[in-house]
Amino acid sequence: MTVRVRIAPSPTGDPHVGTAYIGLLNYAFAKKHGGKFILRIEDTDQTRCTPESAQAIYDSLRWLGLQYDEGPDVGGAYGPYVQSDRVKAGIYQRYADQLVNQGDAYYCFCTSRELDSMKARQRANNEPIMYDRRHRGIDMAEAKTRAANGEPYVIRMKTPIEGEFVYKDRLRKQATAKAWKEIDDQVLLKSDGWPTYHLAAVVDDHLMGITHVIRAEEWLNSLPKHIWLNEHLGFTAPEYVHVGLLRNADKSKISKRKNPTSLKWYQSQGYLSEALLNFLALLGHSHPDGIEKFSLDEMCRFFDLDRVNVAGPVFDMTKLRHMQGQYFRELSPERMRAEVHKSIDQRFNDLLPLFKERMAFGGDFVWQSEPFYADAVTHHADDLVPKGLEKAQSKMLLENTQAAIKRYIAGDNAVWDVPSLEALIRKLLEDRSAELPDATPEQQAQAKLWSPKNLFMLLRVAVTGKKESPPLFDTMVMIGQAKVIERLGLAQQKLR
RNA sequence: GCUCCCAUCGUCUAGAGGCCUAGGACACCAGAUUUUCAUUCUGGCGACACGAGUUCGAAUCUCGUUGGGAGUACCA
């Protein structure tokens, strides 16, 4: 039997580091056994999937060197490899109908409102939250008539009500056992006629000759449904293997709030794909001789699925960084040169538009952009005190602004771009300069300090060390939040 | 709430009943090299979650407790 494994990401958002992780495991397993590694795009959620995102997956996998033998943009004998194309071919509908005709699935006419109130009631009673199977016994002829009359419906699987589901995962000591009655009558075909993940994945894995499904443990709970589907569709089920989920430092499932998860991000930051891959390879798996640095090819030779850990490893950026350094310093002079060049170019391209209007010579860029490259800036105390202000007043303005920026960054969904920053600063000005009806003369005087004229110049000098610069907010964005905060602090020290 | 999964240094891991006073890597600390920094080298700190049981012997097997995670969608 030829090993055939797949990864089946959904093209929503940026390509995910978890996809790379599971991809690596599958790739290594396939290569180790002389099998095939396949990419399938699961875009059955019409509301969330985009073609750009699918393209980004192809690009990222190629960047990593996880080249698939079969897939949407490389073809293969089991295509199409994009589920939306397979929907159009009527593949899933056919199998859903088969189950209905066998009496293993049924039409359900519940509205989302109905389902919501069902859930609310169950939650209130501390009952398991699941579909109450109210349409399970629906008369087939009646159901078909209603459907034919245009009433929206879904197709649900008729899971057993008695007995137990038992499955032994090769990575787990004990078999998984679960009472069938706790397993939901899962929707297989949505009211838009498209399949859910469960139907689509099982059907495609069968049709594509997949022998082993190596996936993250978030799928473990739906395993009974998948095995059941295989059985009732008359398929020989692939072997399912569930590996641990990548985690944040707090052990929760890795998320972009707490970790960079976008493969595009790693690429743009200059991470070497070899380093990222090697780092990923060390999570949940290890070289039998304890070697920690190895190439993808080497990994494919020693990889052993039975040695994979099931506990979810914490994704530790610090160790990745170390690995990156190891690989980077070993780069050939040509490649190192190229990598450095890439970084310089990137920064340069971002910066150039800001200076476009204020240059007469190419050389102007060199001195004007200096604060954007420098680690720190030197402030002249005189420049930090706008005309008509006292030193202490300058300092107060800086302190308040720095605090406001810090608060903003600490909040959720803080975006560091020009509109947000401008909104933040303008709001600050507005709030502070607002005339209070019962303000004392001192308070009113304080409020007057908060003018754009005063604050903008002050910030410009604090952030760049110079009195002239590109537009303030563009400047702050490009210099970056960490340095902006640091320089605001340095300026305050200068005013002591 | 309900169901399932998991449990060795802060983190990634080695460890399949005696080779374990638990090994390696990252991080951290100290020292050496380096004009400085980085690199490199040396040393140090540091864990079998807890409690029973099985056994001559348990990190390794069993049970319980605790802790953590995931799932609970007409998302994947």
Domain boundaries, chain A: 4-85+247-325, 90-243, 331-368, 373-494
CATH architecture observed for domain A90-243: Alpha-Beta Complex (3.90)
Q: Which nucleotide is nearest to A313 (CA to C1')?
A: B12
Q: Which nucleotide is nearest to A201 (CA to C1')?
A: B76
Average pLDDT in the A2-20 region?
97
- pLDDT tens profile A344-402: 998 999 999 999 888 999 999 988 898 888 877 888 888 888 777 788 888 888 888 99
Specify the pLDDT at position A435: 61
CATH T-level fold of A4-85+247-325 = Rossmann fold (3.40.50)
Distance A249 CA to B54 C1' (A): 37
Specify the pLDDT at position A383: 84
Q: CA triplet A173, A176, A179: central angle to 5 degrees?
A: 155
pLDDT-derived band at A208 (thresholds 50, 70, 90) equals: very high
H-state helical runs in A33-111: 51-64, 83-88, 91-102
Asked if pLDDT for residue A443 goes beyond 80, the answer is no
State ipTM: 0.95
Asked if pLDDT for residue A191 goes beyond 70, the answer is yes
Average pLDDT in the A246-258 region?
94
Asked if pLDDT for residue A415 goes beyond 90, the answer is no
Asked if pLDDT for residue A433 goes beyond 80, the answer is no
Specify the pLDDT at position A493: 86
Q: Is A280 exposed, middle or buried (0-12, 13-18, 19+ CB in 10 A)?
A: buried
pLDDT-derived band at A494 (thresholds 50, 70, 90) equals: confident
Asked if pLDDT for residue A233 goes beyond 80, the answer is yes
Q: What is the 3-state secondary structure (H, E, C) of A400-417?
A: HHHHHHHHHHHCCCCCCC
From A2, A461, A24, A6, select the one nearest A263 (Cα to Cα): A24
Distance A246 CA to B49 C1' (A): 22
Specify the pLDDT at position A441: 67
Contact (Cβ atoms closer than 8 angstroms) between residue A57 and residue A40? no
Specify the pLDDT at position A393: 84
Specify the pLDDT at position A482: 83
Is A356 annotated in the active site? no
Q: What is the DSSP string of A229-274?
A: HHHHHTPPPPEEEEEPPPB-TTSSBP-TTTS--BHHHHHHTT--HH
Specify the pLDDT at position A102: 94
Please name the residue whose C-alpha is nearest to the C1' of nucleotide B11.
Answer: A316
Average pLDDT in the A106-118 region?
90
pLDDT-derived band at A177 (thresholds 50, 70, 90) equals: confident
CA dihedral (A188, A191, A193, A196) positive or negative: negative
Specify the pLDDT at position A286: 94
Distance A406 CA to B63 C1' (A): 52
From A326, A332, A317, A269, select the one nearest A295 (Cα to Cα): A326
Report in angstroms the alpha-carbon separations of A63 from A41, A126, A127, A493: 18, 48, 47, 46
- pLDDT tens profile A121-149: 888 888 888 998 888 988 888 989 998 99
Percentage of chain A lying above the pLDDT 70 cut: 97
| Domain A373-494 listed as CATH 3.40.50.300 | no
Average pLDDT across chain A, whole number: 91
Which nucleotides on strand B sit less than 7 A from a protein beta carbon? 1-8, 10-15, 23-27, 39-40, 61-62, 68-76
SS3 A7: strand
Enclosing H/E stretch for A321: helix A317-329
Distance A322 CA to B43 C1' (A): 21
Q: Is A410 exposed, middle or buried (0-12, 13-18, 19+ CB in 10 A)?
A: exposed
From A380, A379, A352, A384, select the one nearest A368 (Cα to Cα): A352
Sheet holding A105-108, edge to edge: A105-108, A154-157, A187-189
Average pLDDT in the A247-265 region?
94
Enclosing H/E stretch for A350: helix A333-355
- pTM for this structure? 0.87
Beta bridge partners of residue A366, listed in sequence order: none
SS3 A69: coil
Measured between alpha carbons, how far is A15 from A52 in angstroms, rounded to an integer? 10
Specify the pLDDT at position A417: 87
CA dihedral (A209, A214, A215, A219) positive or negative: positive
